[in-house]
Amino acid sequence: MGNEAASLGALKAGMTFFAAYPITPASEIMHFLAGKEKTIEFIHAEDEIASIHMAIGASLAGRKALVSTSGPGMSLKQEAIGLAHMMEVPLVIINVQRVGPSTGMPTLPSQGDILQAKHGSHGDYIPIVFYPNSVEECFKYVIKAFNASEESRSPVIFLMDGFLAHLSETVDLSKIKVRAKPRTLEPLGKGNRHFTGLLSKDGVPKTKDTEFYREWYSRIKNKMLETASRYSFFEYIENPTASSLLIAYGIASRVILPLKTKYSIFRPITLYPVLEKELKRTARRYKKVIVIEMNDGQYKEEVERILKREVEGISVLGGTIQLKEIKERLNAL
Amino acid sequence: MHYKDYVNWEKMPTSWCPGCAIGIIFKQLTFALEKLEIRKEELVIVSGIGCSGRAAGYFSSDSVHGTHGRAIPIAEGIKRANPALTVIVFSGDGDLVGIGGNHLIHSARRDIDLTVICINNETYGMTGGQMSPTTKEGIKTPTSPGGNRYYPINIQGILTSNKRHFYARSSTYKINHLQKVIQQAIEWKGFAFIDAIAFCIENFGRHLGFKNAFEMLERTKTDFKIPANKDKVLAENELGIMKK
């Protein structure tokens, strides 16, 4: 199951601190890791906000930390995500998406939290976001998510969806060789370091210093983009006879896979920062670019922005996705 | 370690107003730390947001200044990740009891080994003196212009409803008492909460007719007593420790 594979990936990455609050369709991650409470620090927290703050505290104190949730919980975690970016704390947040807004359609799958993953917390920041599309990838890319979070010293968002979370596939985990990176943050107990959500220079608040803000932001931006450039994951299935390129990710990319006989398919695994170079290079030769996603065109907006041309979109809303419907809608374009 | 060595002198002066009560509690904490011989390498101070929230940065140890209301879960994460650390939460009433109230209830229930010092000045000082969960009934503030219609929260009741608990009330006037209480709270194995009765002159007291900080300090002297019978539940105007 995707949820189990993601949990196992986290353990493989060296995660020893997990805090969460029950929410469908992410709860199996909690259940699975509760079974490991003898080897990791496991907390069923009082709420979504507490769980991510506990993880931030634990990460500062020297543990690789994980939290898991779904849409409503992800909304509640946004302020803490901003804090982790500001304090430069490594952390992995799994969001198993379901249909929103609000309680929405509990708990049918969705891909509606793409833009939230990019800009859910207030202020400017640059997150790294992964979205796998198989049980094997849930395992593999959670390890990479931990590595990216350590290298960038930032909270990395790992998107899944209700389908993927509950999908069962046979995987030989021993064949997946991804090495876990060591910790980059020296744990609390060193003395005289101040971690704060305020803009600060060497622990001293600089809350009225515009020039320093600009300098600081440019450092953070460079750091994030530079790290992310080493984590630019995608899959490109080229069909030499195709004149249209389909772009899809997560479960939607699995569903449309049979269409490779007629189309080329580009699947971003790193959703953010957007794979600008790869998208531009790949899309160049196609007459049509069509983004298929289970939301109202969230990633299509990004593709249009990057390619600076008209991009078609197929929005598959309401928690159900079928190849037949997609074929019909493609033919009608 | 000398008590002065717990202070990050490079950051002085503090951002607090003249006549602020936070410094009194801050200093008593440093005295308690000296008495307990806690090395700064084993100490972490965690604060939330607000005037008291700035305190974390004034300590010479490692410190965390997080989001509003979430000092306790950050502290719990730190303590559970490394139980060898002495983790002290230093924050205000609005932060710990208002927006962070749920965490207070549950970390206390789980009896996590933390010391929580609540600088209870009965107001949201930094944002302009609005009423807080601990503001007395009838008090006029920008968000209770007709007088606070609600009765203040009973933190003692919440804390002592747990089978195992440590709730102490002390004040900025009885500094020796405050220091002893802080020492006992740090030594207590489990969740220890100190309701440190403080005051805010600039953004709260002046609107209530207090002329200066000393008048407010005097009020904590006349309003709060240490009872002779120390075994019973603390009345609203009594200082002491309820532990079990």
Same domain, A26 and A134: yes
**Confidence at A153, pLDDT banded by 50, 70, 90:** very high
State the total domains in chain A. 2
Which tokens belong to A100?
Answer: 């929103």
Is residue A189 domain-resident? no
CATH number for the domain spanning A312: value is: 3.40.50.920
Tens-place pLDDT, residues A87-146: 999 999 999 999 999 999 998 999 999 999 999 999 999 999 999 999 999 999 999 999
Q: Do B64 and A17 touch (CB under 8 A)?
A: no
The whole-angstrom separation of Cα A217 and Cα A200 is 12
Instruction: Identify the domain containing residue A316 by its residue range.
Output: 235-332
- Whole-number pLDDT of residue B231: 75
The whole-angstrom separation of Cα A204 and Cα A118 is 28
| Minimal CA separation from A209 to chain B, in Å | 16
- Whole-number pLDDT of residue A190: 85
Domain C-terminal end among A175, A196, A221: A175
pTM of the model: 0.97
Tens-place pLDDT, residues B165-185: 999 999 999 999 999 999 999
Q: Residue B18: which of B200, B226, B156 has the closest Cα?
A: B200
Is residue A314 domain-resident? yes
- Whole-number pLDDT of residue B233: 92
- Is residue A13 within a helix (H) or strand (E), and if so which, with residue range? none
DSSP-derived secondary structure letter, A271: E
Mean pLDDT (whole number) for B219-240: 91
Residue B229 has pLDDT above 90, yes or no: no
Q: Domain B3-243's class?
A: alpha beta
The whole-angstrom separation of Cα B109 and Cα B162 is 6
Domain spans of chain B, in order of start: 3-243
The whole-angstrom separation of Cα B192 and Cα B202 is 30
Contacting residues of B for A50, CB less than 8 Å apart: 70, 73, 76, 102-103, 106
Mean pLDDT (whole number) for B63-81: 98
| Minimal CA separation from A200 to chain B, in Å | 11
Contacting residues of A for B102, CB less than 8 Å apart: 46-47, 50
Main-chain phi, psi angles of B243, to 5 degrees: -140, 150
For chain A, what is the mean pLDDT? 97
- Whole-number pLDDT of residue B232: 84
**Beta carbons within 8 Å of A226's beta carbon, 6+ residues apart:** none
- Whole-number pLDDT of residue B71: 98
Mean pLDDT (whole number) for B14-22: 96
Same domain, A93 and A22: yes
Chain A residue whose CA is closest to B10: A204
Q: Residue A146: which of A14, A3, A1 has the closest Cα?
A: A14
For chain B, give the percent of residues with pLDDT over 70: 100
Tens-place pLDDT, residues A283-310: 999 999 999 999 999 999 999 999 999 9
What are the E-state strand segments in A221-333? 234-237, 244-247, 264-268, 270-272, 288-293, 312-315
Q: Do B80 and A54 touch (CB under 8 A)?
A: yes
Same domain, A57 and A158: yes
The whole-angstrom separation of Cα A310 and Cα A275 is 18
Tens-place pLDDT, residues A26-60: 999 999 999 999 999 999 999 999 999 999 999 99
CA–centroid distance for A170 within its chain = 23
The whole-angstrom separation of Cα B108 and Cα B104 is 6
CATH number for the domain spanning A169: value is: 3.40.50.970
* CB of B220 closer than 8 Å to CB of B143: no
Which tokens belong to B223?
Answer: 């309003």
Same domain, A169 and A240: no
Contacting residues of A for B8, CB less than 8 Å apart: 192, 194
Tens-place pLDDT, residues A174-232: 999 999 999 999 999 988 899 999 999 988 899 999 999 999 999 999 999 999 999 99
Q: Do A196 and B73 touch (CB under 8 A)?
A: no
Which tokens belong to A196?
Answer: 């704060």
- Whole-number pLDDT of residue A191: 81
How many CB pairs lie under 8 A apart between chains A and B?
132
The whole-angstrom separation of Cα B66 and Cα B90 is 12
Is residue A225 domain-resident? no
- Whole-number pLDDT of residue A254: 97
- Is residue A198 within a helix (H) or strand (E), and if so which, with residue range? none
The number of CA neighbours under 13 Å toward the Cβ of A69 is: 26
The whole-angstrom separation of Cα B9 and Cα B105 is 35
- Whole-number pLDDT of residue B66: 95
Is residue A157 domain-resident? yes
**Confidence at A18, pLDDT banded by 50, 70, 90:** very high
Is residue A282 domain-resident? yes
Domain C-terminal end among A175, A195, A210: A175
**Confidence at B25, pLDDT banded by 50, 70, 90:** very high
Same domain, A171 and A76: yes
Domain C-terminal end among A140, A157, A175: A175
- Whole-number pLDDT of residue B9: 95
- Whole-number pLDDT of residue A283: 98
- Checking DSSP bridges between strand B86-92 and strand B115-120, what pairing results, if any? parallel
| Minimal CA separation from A86 to chain B, in Å | 10
| Minimal CA separation from A283 to chain B, in Å | 43
**Beta carbons within 8 Å of B98's beta carbon, 6+ residues apart:** B69, B124, B132, B133
Tell me which amino acid residue A109 is.
P
C-beta atoms surrounding A123 within 10 Å: 9
Give the nearest partner residue to A188 out of B44, B73, B103, using CB atoms: B44
Contacting residues of A for B11, CB less than 8 Å apart: 204
